[in-house]
Structure 1
Amino acid sequence: MFLMLTLTLLTLLISTLVMLISSFLAKKSITDREKNSPYECGFDPKGSARLPFSLRFFLIAVIFLIFDVEITLLLPVAPTFNLTNTLAWFLTSTSFLLILLLGLYYEWKMGALNWSN
């Protein structure tokens, strides 16, 4: 028990020390206007590098990402059919799909899926 505690503390100490050393060594002390400006073939940029971003597109991308993660959570459902009780498998998968469909319905009703607004 004492050996495990000692090894854990030693690991935490070494990792903290490495992170502190790397943060001190990685700091840039010289800030240059040319290095901080966007590169445009060696010329001064004509416009701002920060273009306005469509918030609608961002919301659609986040919704896509959420449903993509949900699909990866659904993938193990099919192979576990033979390994578990059929009723428990059916109730679990149905409740998960119902929660997903309710979330989709809520986003649809709130207008998060309308691109034209």
Structure 2
Amino acid sequence: MFLIPLLAFPFVFAAAAYRLYTLPRRCIAGTLRLAKPGLTLRTSLTAAAYLGLLAYVVVLPVLAAKVLALGTFNLEAWLGLGPALAGFPVAYIASEWTFYYGFQRPSRHA
């Protein structure tokens, strides 16, 4: 059950880190805008998705380092970390879905 998400974890983690890096840059450059400016539910959900994905990307390596710092191979610690690692692709897909509806690409005129 956890095997496929765990195999996809490194690729999804890299994609999430790239997305977290490029979203603010694209907003500042003007190539990406919020779909509904102002304080709306869509804007709040988009901000919550960004902050949630950022927290997930920061916390997972900290938890993995904590398990590695135990020294000896502790199977219980790795099994406890398994659901968090397996749930990361689901959280990434949910945040991407929110970003798709929360941001608007400006129209390009020739």
TM-score bracket, normalised by the shorter chain, equals 0.3 to 0.5
Larger relative contact order (Cα-Cα within 8 Å, sequence gap ≥ 6): 2
Q: Which structure has the highest helix share of the two?
A: 2
Structure whose CA Rg is larger: 1
